[in-house]
């Protein structure tokens, strides 16, 4: 989840990151409408900082083109994707940059082979939010192999998630990033339609790369991906159950600062804002009067099917609460309330736009003159009717089928705050709910410093990322306890949970446990069975950007089944 409508238009238009029609729509040569593989060699000379071991971004780029259709199909003919080595002084990195064309819907993605053991490491797919924002932002600023420098060079990311996985960054829904269509009617209007496209994409990917088909498979992402991830996982599970194509060895889902259950999460805005002193008690009382109307509108949206006025009204009524909090709070960065909002988006990611829109880079990637779109307003507007739908409902069946879940959240994010995330995780009805709610929470430790709070049960994990304890304790957990910081934190939890009173009491009374990385407490965790909740210190909306080492350690341990 990125921007309410008014802010979205201002912010995205301020960046001028989209074509005239607000979406990547191009007329295709009729001669190319038959299924066809298109490839080209790629090389990006001179784009890397002096001394870097990276030489190029791979050797092949391509897209797969199919005749036009306005709906996702369940069979893909053939995937054209090629992988070549990126030569490095320490290791060989494989990257695939290509288009998967689905009936003149061309889905762009990057694929980076693991720097560790590609043949056995899991396959991760990263999904981004918006809706309509490109995965190139997390690729170059969070979890990808490279970071972009101010002179548009690329340098290695020491904490890239490709150190433990083969990772795909896919621009979706259609119209996002370099992905495009020849017909605006192909723009998706909900996460279910996008899930069908994604399933087709993964089937084609594993046909082209059968050596990865039986590797463990994970879906991860942040923000509006809190909608996508459950929907996409449900689509994969149904495909597996119905033996529709290649069996995808799905093992887990990871949602970072996501929007998953709007009814619960929108109710948490006022509580979070008051706790963090963004509003005063008078503001809180006034804003709280709007919550029942918001909740009722969301319920009506949930009872409707397809695009509906009820969903549009829910979006309008509920985002009004959030917008008022932002207005009262002043010039805060709503992705990280410790910081001021600088520029129209509060973060400056213009290096991504500048890098990918260079002619030499576009030619190297095989995208021709098609403009890179960082955040697409047309996609955003089309998906608004999906915004207030609850995708938590897809998760319990996945847990029961052995798919584990990690939910993590940075404490200083307002827009998809940790409080709302912790509430929907606790409220989710599944066989392990009672045990998860009563499971003890524990610190998450990195380099001897607490980086967050974690809570787990079975396959479910929640992580909250926080910083105040680090700041006050200077890494000394005993000093935190003696200073009385933990007690107010527990009280904050107790005040926050307004549902399932009996389970709430068990949860609040349970002790926190550390998440330790290199002897440092990196956060607080709570787990039971397949479910883990992790609250990581000193981070906002984009946890891998704010806490790169802790986030890599988090995903590595969780993926490998090592206790956090």
Q: Residues near 233 by Cβ (< 8 Å), separated by ≥ 6?
A: 219, 250, 253, 394, 398, 403
Strand pairing class (442-446; 449-465): antiparallel
Note down the domain range covering 339: 262-348
Of 239, 258, 277, which residue sits at a domain end?
258
Highest mean predicted confidence (pLDDT) among 12-26, 44-58, 74-88 = 44-58
Q: Residues near 52 by Cβ (< 8 Å), separated by ≥ 6?
A: 153, 154, 155, 156
**232 assigned to some structural domain:** yes
Are 202 and 58 in a shared domain? yes
Of 292, 316, 348, which residue sits at a domain end?
348
Highest mean predicted confidence (pLDDT) among 165-169, 187-191, 360-364 = 165-169
Are 16 and 135 in a shared domain? yes
- Averaged over 480-503, what is the pLDDT? 38
- Averaged over 229-238, what is the pLDDT? 97
Q: What residues act catalytically? A: 223, 413, 541
Closest alpha carbon to 97 in 18, 145, 39, 54: 39
Are 218 and 268 in a shared domain? no
pLDDT-derived band at 366, boundaries 50, 70, 90: confident
**206 assigned to some structural domain:** yes
Lowest model confidence (mean pLDDT) among 59-63, 170-174, 192-196, 344-348: 59-63
- Averaged over 28-43, what is the pLDDT? 42
Q: Which residue has the tokens 């809570």?
A: 455
Is the C-alpha dihedral spanning 388, 25, 73, 135 positive or negative? negative
pLDDT at 541 over 80: yes
Highest mean predicted confidence (pLDDT) among 28-32, 62-66, 88-92, 182-186 = 182-186
**316 assigned to some structural domain:** yes
Are 40 and 187 in a shared domain? yes
Q: Between 89 and 159, where is the model more confident?
A: 159
Q: Residues near 180 by Cβ (< 8 Å), separated by ≥ 6?
A: 23, 24, 25, 26, 105, 106, 174, 370
Q: How many domains does the chain have?
A: 3
Are 25 and 94 in a shared domain? yes
Are 95 and 228 in a shared domain? yes
pLDDT for the residue numbered 453: 72
Distance separating the N- and C-terminal Cα atoms of the chain: 27
pLDDT at 227 over 50: yes
**421 assigned to some structural domain:** yes
**360 assigned to some structural domain:** no
Distances (CA, A) of 106 to 23, 57, 177, 201: 13, 20, 11, 10
Distances (CA, A) of 115 to 110, 131, 139, 498, 513: 15, 30, 15, 45, 32
Provide the total of helices (H) and of strands (E) in the chain, helices listed first. 20, 19
Q: Residues near 250 by Cβ (< 8 Å), separated by ≥ 6?
A: 217, 218, 219, 233, 236, 237, 240, 403
Percent of the chain residues topping a pLDDT of 90: 47
pLDDT at 465 over 70: no
Distances (CA, A) of 238 to 246, 248, 397: 12, 11, 11
- Averaged over 289-293, what is the pLDDT? 97
**267 assigned to some structural domain:** yes
- Whole-model pTM? 0.81
CB count within 10 Å of CB 164 equals 21
CB count within 10 Å of CB 244 equals 15
CB count within 10 Å of CB 308 equals 14
Q: What is the pLDDT of residues 373-431, one digit of tens each?
A: 899 999 999 999 999 999 999 999 999 999 999 999 998 999 999 999 999 999 999 99
Q: What is the pLDDT of residues 240-285, one digit of tens each?
A: 999 999 999 999 999 999 999 999 999 999 999 999 999 999 999 9
Q: What is the CA radius of gyration of the chain?
A: 22
pLDDT at 103 over 60: no
- Averaged over 169-197, what is the pLDDT? 87
Is 455 within 8 Å of 461 (Cβ atoms)?
Answer: yes
Are 299 and 254 in a shared domain? no
Which helix (H) or strand (E) segment holds residue 194: the answer is helix 191-208
Token readout for 470 is: 């680090």
Are 328 and 235 in a shared domain? no
The string of DSSP letters for 356-422 reads HTSHHHHHHHT-TTPPPBSB-HHHHHHHHHHHTS--GGGHHHHHHTT-EEEEEEETT-STT-HHHHH
Q: Residues near 335 by Cβ (< 8 Å), separated by ≥ 6?
A: 346, 347, 413, 414, 415, 540, 541, 542
pLDDT for the residue numbered 350: 92
3-state SS class at 251: strand
**365 assigned to some structural domain:** no
Are 301 and 240 in a shared domain? no
Q: Between 399 and 309, where is the model more confident?
A: 399
Are 429 and 537 in a shared domain? yes
Are 437 and 502 in a shared domain? yes
Q: How many residues are there in the chain?
A: 564
pLDDT at 481 over 70: no
Are 253 and 266 in a shared domain? no
- Averaged over 183-210, what is the pLDDT? 86
pLDDT for the residue numbered 98: 55
**What CATH number is attached to the domain comprising 129?**
3.40.50.1820
pLDDT-derived band at 466, boundaries 50, 70, 90: low
pLDDT for the residue numbered 96: 54
**367 assigned to some structural domain:** no
Is 398 within 8 Å of 253 (Cβ atoms)?
Answer: yes
Token readout for 376 is: 């697409």
pLDDT-derived band at 140, boundaries 50, 70, 90: very high
pLDDT for the residue numbered 89: 28
pLDDT for the residue numbered 444: 78
């Amino acid at each position: 989840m990125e921007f309410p409508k008014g802010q979205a238009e201002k912010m995205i238009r301020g960046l001028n990151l989209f074509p005239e029609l607000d979406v990547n729509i191009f007329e295709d040569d009729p001669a190319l409408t038959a299924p066809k593989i298109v490839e080209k060699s790629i090389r990006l000379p001179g784009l890397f900082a002096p001394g870097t071991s990276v030489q190029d971004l791979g050797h092949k780029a391509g897209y797969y083109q199919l005749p036009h259709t306005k709906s996702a199909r369940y069979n893909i003919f053939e995937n054209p994707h090629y992988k070549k080595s990126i030569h490095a002084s320490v290791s060989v990195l494989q990257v695939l940059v290509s288009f998967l064309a689905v009936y003149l819907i061309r889905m762009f993605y990057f694929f980076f082979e693991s720097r560790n053991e590609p043949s056995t490491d899991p396959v991760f797919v990263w999904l981004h939010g918006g809706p309509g924002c490109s995965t190139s932002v997390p690729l170059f600023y969070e979890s990808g192999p490279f970071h972009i420098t101010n002179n548009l060079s690329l340098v290695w990311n020491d904490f890239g998630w490709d150190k433990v996985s083969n990772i795909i960054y896919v621009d979706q829904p259609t119209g996002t990033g370099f992905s495009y269509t020849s017909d605006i009617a192909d723009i998706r209007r909900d996460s279910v339609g996008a899930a069908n496209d994604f399933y087709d994409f993964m089937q084609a990917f594993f046909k082209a790369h059968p050596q990865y088909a039986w590797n463990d498979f994970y879906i991860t992402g942040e923000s509006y991906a809190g909608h996508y991830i459950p929907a996409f996982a449900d689509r994969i599970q149904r495909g597996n159950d119905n033996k529709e194509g290649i069996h995808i060895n799905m093992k887990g889902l990871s949602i970072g600062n996501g929007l998953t259950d709007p009814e619960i999460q929108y109710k948490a805005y006022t509580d979070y804002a008051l706790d963090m002193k963004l509003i005063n008690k008078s503001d809180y009382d006034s804003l709280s009067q709007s919550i029942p109307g918001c909740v009722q509108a969301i319920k009506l949206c949930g009872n409707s099917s397809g695009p509906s006025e009820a969903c549009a009204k829910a979006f309008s009524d509920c985002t009004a609460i959030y917008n008022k909090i932002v207005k009262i709070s002043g010039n805060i960065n709503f992705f990280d309330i410790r910081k001021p909002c600088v520029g129209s988006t509060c973060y400056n990611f213009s290096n991504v736009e500048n890098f990918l829109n260079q002619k030499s880079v576009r030619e190297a990637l095989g995208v021709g003159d098609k403009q890179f779109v960082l955040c697409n307003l047309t996609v955003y507007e089309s998906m608004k009717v999906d915004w207030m739908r609850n995708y938590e409902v897809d998760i319990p069946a996945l847990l029961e089928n052995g798919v584990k879940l990690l939910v993590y959240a940075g404490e200083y994010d307002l827009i998809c705050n940790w409080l709302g995330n912790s509430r929907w995780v606790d409220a989710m009805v599944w066989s392990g709910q009672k045990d998860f709610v009563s499971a003890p929470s524990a610190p998450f430790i990195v380099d001897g410093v607490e980086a967050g709070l974690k809570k787990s049960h079975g396959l479910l994990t929640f992580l909250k990322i926080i910083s105040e304890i680090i700041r006050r304790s200077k890494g000394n957990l005993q000093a935190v306890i003696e200073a009385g910081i933990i007690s107010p934190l527990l009280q904050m939890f107790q005040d926050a949970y307004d549902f399932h009173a009996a389970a709430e009491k068990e949860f609040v009374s349970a002790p926190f446990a550390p998440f330790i990385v290199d002897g440092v407490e990196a956060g607080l965790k709570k787990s039971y069975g397949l479910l883990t909740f992790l609250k990581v210190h000193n981070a906002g909306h984009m946890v891998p950007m704010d806490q790169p080492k802790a986030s890599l350690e988090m995903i590595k341990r969780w993926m490998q089944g090592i206790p956090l």
